[in-house]
Structure 1
Amino acid sequence: MTATDTPAWPQCGHLDAGGHCRGHRVAPYTACLAHLGSAERAAHLASLAPGADLDHRGTPFTQGLLDALLAPLRDPASGRARVGNAAFDETRFTGDAELDDIDFGGSCSFASAVFDGGLYAREVRTEGDFRLAAARVAKDVWLDDTDVGVDAWFYEARITGTLRFCVREVGGTAMFRGVTCAAAYFSGVRVCGIASFNGAVINGEADFAGAVFEDGATFETARIAGRACFDGTHFHRSRACFNGADIGGGMPFAEAHFAAEATFEGAAIGGDLTFTGARLESGVDFRRTVFRRTARIGPLVCPGTVDFSHAVFETALTLETAAREVRCRQTRWASTAALRLRHAAVDLSDAVTEFPVTVSGRPRPFVSPHGEAMAEPELLTDLPVRITSVTGVDAAHLVLADTDLTDCLFVGTVHLDQLRFEGRCRLPQPPDGLRWMRRQTLAEERHWRGWAPAPSGADPHEPATLAPVYRQLRKALEDSRNEPGAADFYYGEMEMRRHDTTTSRGERTLLGLYWVLSGYGLRATRALAWLVLAMTATVLTMMLWGLPRTDPDPVSTGTTDGRRITLTTRKPTPVNPEGPYTKRLSASRFEKSLRVVANSVIFRASGQDLTTTGTYVEMTSRLVEPALLGLAVLAVRSRVKR
């Protein structure tokens, strides 16, 4: 209501330079309490008794007039004033207003009142509401050791100084929407209903340490220029909502309790968030939050999801969280970051990393400043940190350390060849059984082969898509001098090329032979098995058809002419063996055959006389068997090289 509006109560008839006084007329007189004559005011005050209602809306007050009004309402024994309902709406107080030792049986309202000084209430109790909505206070507002039976209404109040709301209990809701003050202190207050600070503007710090909000609290679009302290604060039944809030300093939540979700969606936070000893029973939502000068978040123990999707970190950050899930979808890090996590499934889809970002699993619980291990209720303590997706990430600045990549999606990652693995990063294995070789694979290959179901709403990727992914991961491990790890990715790349239907048939056939003979040069036992099989076959062939029936004896013939002898030596052609095969499998023929085969493996001729069949078999074995031996040596080297 503006000064030009006609008030809704009987108006004082006093006329001054500003026009008619807006004060409520004191019946049966025609003036308000401030403009009554001395005799009339004395008569009116004498008519008051403890428990009387007061209606002095629009009346100009001083502290002296207020004390005179309360004097007849005080109990002589206790010294406390007893008032029924008190209406001081639109009053104007000159100087400070002090309310001491007053019991209101109903409500006490200062809505739209104007205070040239401050308002100080001590040891005040109201059975109904306490209202300061739309009031204007030139100095501080202090409510010390006060109880409000129903609601506290402070919305749109403008307080130039400090708001100290040290109320023991508010029986209903606490409305501070749009309130403006220099600083705010709500330490230890208990609000039985919901507390709303939506749109509040606090130009300094705000302290809610030890406050209890039985039905939650909302701080949507609130602006706090300094630090906002919530150490030991309890948010019961309903969520704690900071959506769109702008906090200039840090937000400590040490020993706080959140019975429902805490949301910071779209907020801007200028300092650290500490959760040492805090107890959370649900998740925390930081979607679209801007962390301006936040250097540390945590240690945060959360049994639900901690969501940083679309959040922006403008400075270097250390994040310590033990949670069921951590989402960083389209999160942007404008500086370095270290994410030290426990138990969580981490989704990094489409995250933007402009500087090195390290995601590491922490083996031991976080500790408090006192050195005590922080409890992790409702979390499975044996679960490692699991990366579920790095799709869309520029991996040039990403480091994964001691994480589980069993279900991690890599397709669509940029600069995957520059991704760094530190510590022990676990990748999925093929199913158990003789059919599958033990190796590290990708989750996408498991989806394509049917070893594991693909994520909901996604189709398995084809081998043509997976081959480049394996190739880039192989290069990443080779650059970090991890040749054994790179070998598994090389195997996966070759497998995808072999199964790629867009590859030519000839190349696929060649890859198939390479796979059969030596597992792409990575399976030493397979190459050695083929070598032993080839040598065995060569030995048997030599024994059965390659060695002659007998070793040919050289025959020399010559002539003499009395002075000179001319000799010519001829070696008979080896004779193919005859007779039953069982007689050819003798110990002597085995020894000769083994000598031929052993020499062929190292590219040497045995010097043994062979049949025509044996000669061609030896030539073939000198080509095939050294190649198989070389493949076996290559496979061993790929597993031990560093």
Structure 2
Amino acid sequence: MEGSHVTAAAPATDAERQLIDAVSVGGGTVDLRTRKERSRRELPSPDDGAAWGDDRTVRAEFLQHLLLTLGTPVNLYGARIAGDLDLRGASLPPINLSRCIVDGPSRFNGATFPVDVWFEGTTFLSYAAFNSATFTGNAGFYNATFTGDAGFSSATFTDDVSFSGATFTGHAWFDGATFINHAGFAGATFTSAASFESATFTGNVARFDRATFTGGAGFGGTTFTGDAGFIKAIFTSDAKFTEATFTGGAHFTDAVFVQGADMSRCSFRRLELIRTVWSGSLVTVGLVAGRADLSEAVFDVPARVELVAAHVFGSRLQANHRFHLILAAGRLDLTDADLAAGSLIESMELPTTVDRFVSVPPLFEENGRLAKRSSVMPLNEFLEITLERYRLAADLTDLFADRELAAVVSLKRAHVAGVRLSGMDLTQCVFQWADGLDGLLISDTCVLQESTDADPGWRFPRLRRLRATRRVIYDEVVERRRARGVQLDPAIPDEANPRATEVPIPTEASVAMTYRSLRKALEDSKDEPGAADFYYGEMEMRRSSARLIDRFLLTLYWLTSGYGLRAWRALTSLAVVIAVAGWCFTNSDWVRISPTGPGSPVLSPTSDAWPWLFAGQETIALFRPAGTIGVTLVGFGAVVDIAVRVLGPVLLALAVLAIRNRTKR
């Protein structure tokens, strides 16, 4: 390069002379750092930059001359860029200003970076504006510091971009930005507002792991077509994700929300809130997800969570205050969860239209033209984003096609004292070893399995319709299937999810204890008819696990009165007793006609119906009424008479008790 070219740039400082010398020989790296600075990882501070002299100072207008007039690449380390750096609308050569300090405004609005650009460890002391800029190569802003506002609104990154470890102490604007490839914000710190409203992430992964948002974080209307990671991120102010769409997975594992988050009308293929800590509210009105995982999440404030999700995992979830979960269509696993008293889990109606699941923008306008898109977004990317949203909408619609009530599939080992279930499907809910079941309130709107009184080996299926039905819990169904050697399916059959609940194998004794606790809860809430079914189940399990003598007595109790809950059995048993006793009284060896006193006996011993009428009369009175002495009972006849005198009142009492248990409120 000729000297006349460099004279136009009017170099004045020693640093500028080194830079022009490097340009004159065809380019090269100018590293102004000391040996100590190269060996340590610490970034230069603003105070360090203020102390640098001409040997480390490059004027902004000189840098503009190299980039715009001469079009030469700049590869500079450890310099202070003094003045207003204005490169708006320019198509720039390769730029590397790593570990530099820019003390004036930086204007890159509308600029195009056709190759890689690096600002690694760079400190921007004033505002930095990259609005509507286009980065077609790699963009490296990792460990950069923005002490003023940073604007990347409507910027387009067609290759990898990294803001990992970057610090934004002013506002950070990424509204409408497009990230076509990998976008990394891992470990970034936002001490003021960070806005990603309507941004688009089409790469495989968008990483915000370990990022810290001290100011508000805005992701409203953002689209992520790949996985989005917010693992161990910290949100100390409000986090807004309203109407965001995640066609892949959204991972918030170990994230902390100090002020809460708004995820209203968001759409997720997979939402992971594993081990998240909530010190603020979680707003989820209209949230739709194929799978939502709240395992080990901790809610330190009262929370109301509304979800439309096919599968919801809440194992070891901890709610220290009232937790109100409203679920549509999903299957809920609350294994080992700890729910505060007063918590409510209820179902809601499932939306029926696709546009309620995912907000899909129109591909064409009314005039047949393609819908408007960002002026810098490639057409193929626009079409791919729209297609991904349609795919998500179709997949979610298929997931909920056959769903009706939301279902709880596991409360295994959960603490549920004072919790209320309303409108939930409990036909496959496992209660085994749950704590506080005697305080669990199950409303009448919940659905349980129904079963007849018959044992599993009942051989007369046609008579099954004559037998009474009762509500049973899934634990009893599982135990009976196990006893018959039937293979059981997981509570949530999902091979792709290693957190699926294992199949429980309850014992008769544990099921009986579960029934006892649930019965007590209903009795305390004055629901005697509902408690009656659980008492029946408790006795069934006790009978199955009892030893020989106890089993015989319980079987007799079941056969004669259905554990005091089946009035028709007690009355049928009474009729059988009368019939058998009447037949016994027809035996002349056990019954002898005896002379009577004045008048006629109430029952004539010569009547053909006398034996059964006499047996019926004996069953309804402990003492023989006057005027019935027309016979003398001898031998076994006297024994039969004593038996019917005892059994008759007992069976009548059981019938009355059964009616009372079914009608008492």
TM-score, normalization by structure 2: 0.76
Q: Distance in 1 between matches of 2:540 and 2:347?
A: 31
Cα 1:277/1:170, change in 2 over 3 Å: same
- 1:626 Cα deviation after fit: 2.0
The residue that corresponds to 1:352 in the other structure is 338
**Aligned match of 1:294 in 281, 291, 300?**
281
Partner of 1:9: none
Q: Output aligned runs, 1:146-157, within 5 Å.
A: 146-157=133-144
2:471 to 440, 443, 446: 440
Q: Gapped runs of 5+ residues in structure 1?
A: 1-13, 35-57, 74-82, 556-568, 578-583
Task: Indicate the structure whose relative CO is greater, using CA pairs within 8 Å and at least 6 residues apart.
Answer: 2
Instruction: Give the drift of 1:336.
Output: 1.3
- 1:220 maps to which of 187, 203, 209: 209
- More helix as a share of residues: 2
Task: Report the Cα distance in structure 2 between the residues aligned to 1:352 and 1:592, rounded to whole angstroms.
Answer: 65
Match of 1:314 in 2: 300
Gapped regions of structure 2 (runs ≥ 5):
1-10, 31-54, 361-392, 455-460, 491-501
Cα distance change of structure 1 residues 366 and 354 upon mapping to structure 2, 3 Å threshold:
farther
Q: 1:62 aligns with which of 36, 59, 62?
A: 59
SS at match of 2:150: strand
Q: CA deviation at 1:546?
A: 9.1
**Structure 1 residue matching 2:513: 3-state secondary structure:** helix
- Larger deviation, residues 196-205 vs 621-630: 621-630
* 3-state SS of paired residue (2:472): coil
Whether contact under 8 Å (1:447, 1:453) holds in the other structure is: no
Match of 1:343 among 322, 329, 332: 329
Does structure 1 residue 469 correspond to structure 2 residue 514? yes
Within the candidate set 475, 487, 497, 2:542 is matched to 497
Residue 297 of structure 1 deviates from its aligned partner by: 3.4
Question: What's 2:448 paired with?
Answer: 427
In structure 2, do the counterparts of structure 1 residues 465 and 546 end up closer, same or farther at CA, with 3 Å as the change threshold? same
More deviation in 319-328 or 395-404?
Answer: 395-404
User: Does the Cα contact within 8 Å between 1:333 and 1:355 map onto a contact in 2?
Assistant: no
Q: Take 2:514 and 2:64, find their aligned partners in 1: how far apart are those partners?
A: 82
8 Å contact kept, 2:184–2:206: yes
Residue of 411, 433, 436 corresponding to 1:390: 411
Q: Distance in 1 between matches of 2:198 and 2:279?
A: 27
**Conserved 8 A contact 1:546-1:615:** no
- How many equivalent residue pairs? 562
Specify whether residues 21 and 65 from structure 1 end up closer, same or farther in structure 2 by C-alpha distance, changes over 3 A only.
Answer: closer
Aligned to 1:601: 620
In structure 2, give the amino acid aligned to 1:65.
F
Q: CA deviation at 1:315?
A: 0.8
1:72 CA displacement: 4.0
- Partner in structure 2 of residue 484 of structure 1: 529
| Residues 250-329 of structure 1 mapped to structure 2, 5 A cutoff | 250-280=238-268, 282-303=269-290, 305-329=291-315
Quote how far apart the aligned CAs of 1:62 are. Answer: 2.7
Which of the pair is proportionally richer in strand?
1
Q: Deviations over 1:268-287 (max 9, x none)?
A: 1123433333332x211111
Higher deviation after alignment, 484-493 or 606-615: 606-615
Amino acid at match of 1:253: F
Q: 2:163 aligns with which of 172, 176, 184?
A: 176
Q: Which amino acid aligns with 1:496?
A: M
Deviation at 1:521, TM superposition (A): 0.6
Q: 1:464 to 1:108 in 2, by over 3 A?
A: same
Q: Deviations over 1:29-68 (max 9, x none)?
A: 9xx9x9xxxxxxxxxxxxxxxxxxxxxxx97333443455
Q: 2:179 aligns with which of 172, 191, 201?
A: 191
1:25 and 2:30 are equivalent in the alignment: no
Per-residue deviation at 1:168?
A: 3.3
**1:630 paired to 2:653:** yes
Structure index of larger Rg: 1
Residues of 1 paired with 2:15 and 2:507: CA distance? 86
Identity of aligned residues (%): 28
What is the SS of the residue equivalent to 1:488?
helix
> 1:110 aligned to 80, 88, 97, which one?
97
8 Å contact kept, 2:329–2:350? no
Cα deviation digits, residues 132-165 of structure 1 (max 9, x gap): 2211111111112211112221111111112111
Q: How big is each residue's C-alpha offset from its partner over 1:477-515, in whole Å with a ceiling of 9 and x where there is no partner?
A: 1001111111111112222222224x5x43332222111
Alignment partner, residue 574 of structure 2: 531
Distance 2:561 2:86 in 1: 93
Q: Classify 1:246/1:222 alpha carbon distance in 2 versus 1 (closer, same or farther; 3 Å).
A: same
The one-letter amino acid paired with 2:632 is T
One-letter amino acid of the structure 2 residue matched with residue 601 of structure 1: I
Aligned CA RMSD, in angstroms, stands at 3.6
